[in-house]
Amino acid sequence: MSRPSQPKLTATDHNGVSVIQSQAHAASSSLPAAVAGLQQVPQLVPANPSTGGGKALAPSKMKKPPADKDSEEYRQRRERNNLAVKKSRMRSKQKAMDTQQRVNELKEENERLEAKIKLLSKELSVLKDLFLEHAHNLADNVQPPAGAEGSSPAPNSTSTNGQ
């Protein structure tokens, strides 16, 4: 079912920034086409006040030039970053898959272990029963060694022990 009408709660107001995207770098690869068109917009570069006279010696907090889009260095950085991003995302995805796989492996392992436990438990149970039986037998005809014999009917009580 879909949400027919949602009273627009939380107008996800992100920053109200005008975004001007313009890209035109070489298509890395495998883009069907339809790369969203971008084009340069006449962005006005703020006239750099440059170092007029008063040079505030601010050790930090210096306004960053909006990164001139035309700058050669800018494009270079962008491209590098795009690459890094791609790489990072690939890694991320790979990791996710690996984790999923790990889950499957662990699940299998778990089943195996549980099966083994079941088996061992069974074996133990059997042995214990045998022991009990012997114990009963011994208790019934508790006859010191040497000439031990005679009748020993001893109705065997098949007591099933629990676990």
Partner DNA sequence: GAGCATTGCGCAATTA
Partner DNA sequence: ATAATTGCGCAATGCT
> Under rule CB under 7 A, which residues in 83-122 are in contact with DNA?
83-89, 91-93
| Sole window of 8-16, 96-104, 105-113, 141-149 interacting with DNA (rule: CB under 7 A) | 8-16
Q: Where are the alpha helices (DSSP H) in 42-71?
A: none
User: What's the min distance (Å) between Cβ of 117 and DNA?
Assistant: 37
| Sole window of 34-42, 54-62, 152-160 interacting with a copy of itself (rule: CB under 8 A) | 34-42
| Sole window of 50-58, 77-85, 152-160 interacting with a copy of itself (rule: CB under 8 A) | 77-85
Enumerate long-range contacts of 81-87, CB under 8 Å, 24 or more apart: 82/25, 82/28, 86/28
Q: Please choose which of a copy of itself, DNA, none residue 130 contacts, taking the beta carbon within 5 to 8 angstroms, the exact cut-off set by kind.
A: a copy of itself
CA angle 87, 93, 94 (to 5 degrees): 90
Angstrom CA distances, 62 to 56, 57, 65, 160, stand at 10, 10, 9, 84
